[in-house]
Chain A
Amino acid sequence: MPPSVATSDLTKRFPGITAVNRLTFEVHAGEIFGLVGPDGAGKTTTLRMLAGVLSPDGGSATVAGADIAREPEAAKARLSYMPQRFGLYEDLTVAENIRFYADVFGVSREEREARARQLLDAAGMSPFTTRSAGKLSGGMKQKLGLVCALIHRPLVILLDEPTNGVDPVSRRDFWRILYSLLNEGIAILMSTSYLDEAERCHRVALLHQGRMLYCETPVELKRRLHGAVVSIVGHEARRIRAALGGAAGVLNALLVGDGVHLVVDDAGRRIPELQAALQTAGLVFDRLEEIEPTIEDLFVAATSKERKP
């Protein structure tokens, strides 16, 4: 079976920046493929090109067998795209939004009603069909976006950070629907900046400045991070990093919003040592604990040369 999505040296340049740089990957039917990367990595730009709303400057891509440059409309008939920013009509109700996208794709009334009922049930949104989309919570909005995207049974769905800012319950619904689609032979391509979400994908591509660093399973990706991540929350982040950056067993030190993330070889052994070192240096901190690695940690580990302990 040919891949549902295939890109080859896909490139997009904006003035002063190459947002997507010679990207090559494939997504197969029944697969959830994640585009993972920090802000500005080129995730949205890639998805926009595949959705046919942005023209590539180089390379090529096919979506559901249709070349996005030569026959974009054929591709559009077979895909669904959920933009990063909510793209539905806030002044229409849940049911009206669904009806609109169903009509646009020529879905018959019976099919629409059956499909909508099933999807709304799965999303836990059946009681809200007459509510304005604008009055839904963030999680509900995203689930409605998914329902509208799926109403016409596309072959490929492109989701741009679909669970950003979504509550845990809605997120669980969201993923349950996504998994249920895989039996239908749909290919799912989504971007995310959460590592726990990337872990639910079958394969992920790690993007950095438009380039693909790795394309592999989440397990393989995580394995690139040797050791564990210790988070130190405190005001004196820079001084903490300076003091601990070279300490024994610290492989990497990264400044984050509220403090420092250290990659250490063995969390259980190093945490007491780090606490002691900070005390000796007279540096105060609010919290010091082992955490689940974030995309940034992985990313830093993957891009910087590892230092010997």
Chain B
Amino acid sequence: MRLHRLIAIIRKETLQIRRDFPSLLITVAMPLLLMLAFGYGVRFDVQHIPVYVYDREGSQQSQDFLKHFQASEYFRLIKAVDNYPALIEALDSGACRLAIVIPIDFSERLSAGGPVAVQALVDATDNNTANISLSYSEAVAQTYNQRLHLDWIQRHGLNTIQSPLSVDTRTWFNENLESSANIVPGVIAIIMAVIGSFLTSLTIAREWERGTMEQLVSTPITPLELMVGKLVPYFVIGLLDTVLCTALAILWFEVPFRGQWTVLLLSCTLFLVVVLSLGYLISVLAKSQLAASQAALIVTFLPAFLLSGFLYPIDQMPAAIQVITHLIPARYFMTILRDVFLKGTSIPFLASDLLALALFAAILTILATRAFHKKLT
């Protein structure tokens, strides 16, 4: 490998990327767009559901109960109305997604020991939100119930309560059950798969299509120099995009980062080498930009999206597909990314995943170097 030839190719490739608008768009705009789209758009948790209330009793106790809703960040009390039609209209017009009706005998029945039924009307056009609002409402009611019990117990002179069994649910690693914490690290893997394979899949095919390859292979450039020289710029872009996305994840989406930077860097490097060599291999074999880009999409982007555990949890997939996911490098990277962000696992726990990535990287670089020949046809 000669340095002057390597640098010549890196320089040339960098200039070409800079002048190619679609390439720039993919390297700069796409990561931002994907981060925002997944960070905001595809959130599986719900916050600030607009709520209307119709408090038919209007007692101190009913107001106290409603305060619990107000305190929850899942709900936002928009308005109190004093008749049913207004409530229905608000639901119909979309002014609220949930309507709470407190019965006229709320406090009366409570002091009598219940039961009291509070009515919750939900707009189920978006059944995900509907389900979540209902279960959150139940949770609020539950909390209120507990407080009533406590009050009752204390009032009857039992100053310490000892619940024989208490289930203290605590969601680990993602305490607030925020989907963005789960999703955003995964987006980084998707972005790298696209940058790494989609763009590189075009580089060799483009030289064949534009007729520049014939002259290039008549020079003493070696296949290894050509590959490394063409991939280095994309590697740098990939790393920069990782930094950008990580910064966005931590600073904007407030995803925790509990792991080590070195693990993030190491896994990103390995995964980049995997996707870059794969893209290059495709480019060498395809010889046409259209075929190459389609192949890259099918071989890297789609598996990274569908089979890596990004969109669907792997352990919920059919057994046969679970086996296939072991052949998807993005699967290992996705695991590492989520661990590094949410758990902070140290290297020994991630060794098998890192090793799998390293293995893919080694095999694919060897294949990519071997695939290219400095001959026509």
Binding site for B on A (CB under 8 A): 48, 51-55, 72-73, 76-77, 79-83, 85-92, 96, 99-101, 103-106
Contact = CB atoms under 8 A, between A and B. Distances in A.
B14 to A, nearest CB: 11
Given A76-B218, A105-B219, A53 B15 contact: no
Contacts, number: 80
Contacts of A85: 211, 214
Contacts of B8: 99-100, 103-104
A70 to B, nearest CB: 15
Contacts of A106: 2, 4-5
Interface of B: 2, 4-5, 7-9, 11-12, 15-16, 19-20, 210-212, 214-222, 374-377
Contacts of B9: 104
A43 to B, nearest CB: 15
Contacts of A48: 214, 376
A100 B20 CA distance: 18
B374 A53 contact: yes
Contacts of A82: 215
Contacts of B2: 106
A52 B218 contact: yes
Contacts of A53: 214, 217-218, 374-376
Most buried by B among A73, A104, A106: A104
Nearest to A76: B220
Contact of B15 (A79, A83, A96): A96
A300 B32 CA distance: 66
B214 A83 contact: yes
Contact of B219 (A76, A89, A91): A76
Given A103-B7, A103-B8, A106-B5, A81 B15 contact: no
A57 B376 CA distance: 14
Given A73-B220, A100-B11, A106-B2, A83 B16 contact: no
Contacts of A83: 211, 214-215, 218
Contacts of A52: 217-218, 374
A86 B11 CA distance: 21
Contacts of A89: 12, 16, 210, 212
22 contacts: A48-B214, A52-B217, A55-B375, A73-B220, A73-B222, A80-B218, A81-B214, A81-B218, A83-B215, A85-B211, A86-B211, A87-B214, A89-B12, A89-B16, A91-B20, A92-B15, A103-B5, A103-B8, A104-B5, A104-B219, A104-B221, A105-B219
